[in-house]
Chains A and B, each alone.
Chain A
Amino acid sequence: MDTVSNAVHYVFLGAAACFVIGLHLMNHPRTARRGNTLSAFAMAVAIGATVWLVADEGTISGTGWLVLGTGGLVGAALGLWAAREVRMTAMPQLVSLFNAVGGGAAALIAVNDLLQADDAAALGARVSVPGALDIVIGAVTFSGSLIAAGKLQGIVSGAPVVFPGARLLNVLLPASFVAGTVWLVLAPDSRTALYGLTAVALLFGVTMVLPIGGADMPVVIALLNAFTGSAVAMAGFVLDETALIIAGMLVSASGGILTKLMADAMNRSIANVVIGGFGTGDGAPAATGAGGAAQVRPVSADDVAIQLAYASKVVFVPGYGLAAAQAQHELGDLAKLLTAHGIDVSYAVHPVAGRMPGHMNVLLAEANVPYTQLKEMDEANPQFPQADVALVVGANDVTNPIARRPGNAISGMPILDVDKAKSVVVIKRSMGHGYAGIDNELYTDPKTGMFFTDAKKGLSELKAAVAEFVG
């Protein structure tokens, strides 16, 4: 090892340490951004060091520099554009897309490495085993994440796609890629094995994600995140780069934990999710508050309780305010009370990711809300006209009818048609604004009652009051 190579590896070590510290700083909202900046800085330094290493080793050709430079610029520009332009509602897609490209890059590294091998002996198991694993995991992640992103974006049907013979294919494909992996490990110089395995893995990614419903996407994305991490770590083995192994496994651990948490919170096993075939509801709403001088009609817990107790259909609209107040259990309890009294209760969950895509589902699932009561926007909206009461808990922008009109911050944003319910109750602490910072017309609608209180406290009061009415 020469001096430059040594120095670069110390830089990599430092970068890896910064990644760990950066992720550690993510454990508090106050420090999270600093953590991300530290991590980004470390990444920039590591990339700079790699340029130095590449130049120092001198094996790169002019075309190589061109490939490296233009590829880097094109990728950076695409990434920057996507990250800047993406609407917060499309966050899960973007995360999924980044998973795809990460896994894809990792797989390409292994493919390239194996292609350069002239004979099997030169490679050996030290490269062929992680190489084959890298291709399998990377390619599955690539195609799987693209399908996941397509589903979230609505390009691919969000509903579980099950085609005839899918199950059989899902048995045959893994079997053939296990066989392909073994073949490639034994004969790493076989082009047939290399291309065959890559193709099978890509196909498997597609057939793995297609049958999984929209509601399970957060779990799937976390799982694919873990896959990408492993693929990158395998690329680290192939290239003998500890930095890739460390970073890859950090991500893999994070993805793994999140997968487990989400699956647990939704009362589903990971296997259950991956086998797929059901689930359509998904998403998380945002924000609190409206404001301004327009007339609002304040109501008390008792007023609301009477409405709820004599309703036959109630739709809950949980939002950021509910999440912030951690009031999902109170809401769940209130729903149970109403359900027990024979009232049809459902939750209209908006797909907006105010800050946590899929978080609302998890929160409600944690409060033991039956999966079937969770309604995705498209499913919930036709129900509002039949709803006697729509109870909005801390959701603002996603219920603002102004979104249907052009010329404002949230124009065109899909909203929950809460204003079409026969009567509306909004639980809010104040007339504060939502993310969009605009007044919510819903609050000044004559049929809307405003119940000013903390979501948790308010829901507890409601529960007590309803319990009195329904005995």
Chain B
Amino acid sequence: MDGMDGQRAERWTADQVLALAPDASSRKAGTALATAARWSGTGSSGTAVWGLCAGSGGTPYQAVVDTAGPAFRCGCPSRKFPCKHALALLLLWAGGEVGPAAHGGGRPDWVTEWLDARRAREERTSPGGRGTSGGGDPEAARRRAERRAGRVAAGATELERRLADLLRDGLAGADREGYRRWDETAARMVDAQAPGLASRVRELGALAGSGGDWPSRLLEETALLHLLARGCLRQDALPAPLAATVRSRVGFTVDSAELLAGPTVRDRWLVLARHDTADDRLTTRRTWLHGEATARTALLLSFGAAGRAPEPALPVGLGLDAELAFHPGARQLRAVLGPRHDTPLPGRVPPGVPVAAALGAYGEALADDPWLDAWPVVLAGVVPIPGGTGWQVADGDGSDAVPVTAGGAGAGAGLWRLAAVSGGHPVTVFGELGHQGFRPFTAWGGAGAEPVPLTV
């Protein structure tokens, strides 16, 4: 008996379905399509839900969703992912309008084929099922790694020289030089296969002459870059976890499959927040998880080509029983999602701390990883204080507060949503707390409250 039929899919709420939509227009289109009249041959069995949706053409689109992924497939030509048909199908299912098919029977062949293919693919890529991929000869791999280490070290040495030159002459003229000097240095770091150093150099270029007390901020970031370059050059002298942190900061990546082959942490992970940022080429998705038993916070990073939403599309508020493999480092946060064990259930309001404790958590994290700009925290019992010049989030009792950072376009709308949820009363807020302040991502109004995403 295969696992997918063995699991009984818990119905999602419509909110959880809609949270999967890649954008507002998909949400709208999906909802419009979610009427039984547009669908035929719908059914569900195990974690699979399927149906045929009449489109503009002659043949209806075959849509199927595996809610355990969630994974989607639809015959329509849309490049949205999931497409409106998959969303509509799930909405119908969430509304109880898709009946279960007779066990095993009644499932159309095209559904079974897709499920089988998907399972086969999963077995191929899962750590247990896959062979030693990643390019055969371990000796050749070792030589490649050595060559890269050498290039990176040379890059870090050059960076140190350039930073020294900069400070020997003084920063006073740095704002007049424009980006050219920084861009050139960044390009050298790319050549040296140290993308982490390159992006920090580019940020320095943006800081110079950026208004306000820019010399102070530029010195801060220059000093931290210097610290990273020094750490990179003296990795051997560092404790292993710190060395791993330095390596990841410099830009060494670890293969996900390799991580999942190692130890994993199984817990009931609550999806705290999801946030996508996009540039011309790439959409980056950050998904924060909180482990109920381990009390650990994890960050999943995923990427999608421009215009396509990255996977996984885990809805905020979901609780999933899953294994995570953490990236190595002194302060582990980033993780990859491993096998999932059960059908996801709605999660609870995460436990939180007051402002001072949250600041303390950031401080402690800095001791392990001084390059952290912010640390994910759940603030509990806090009140948002709107202000013309800037917002604060303050403890419900006492006078402790942190300033709220204005985080990009549309942040204002999110802050007002936070204020509306609070209504002057204490709330639980998840966000990132750092030296620039607190950036809220999700709010919970009270006990048993649904999460309210603040960044979309």
A and B are partners in one complex rather than unrelated chains:
no
Interface residues of B (CB under 8 A from A): none
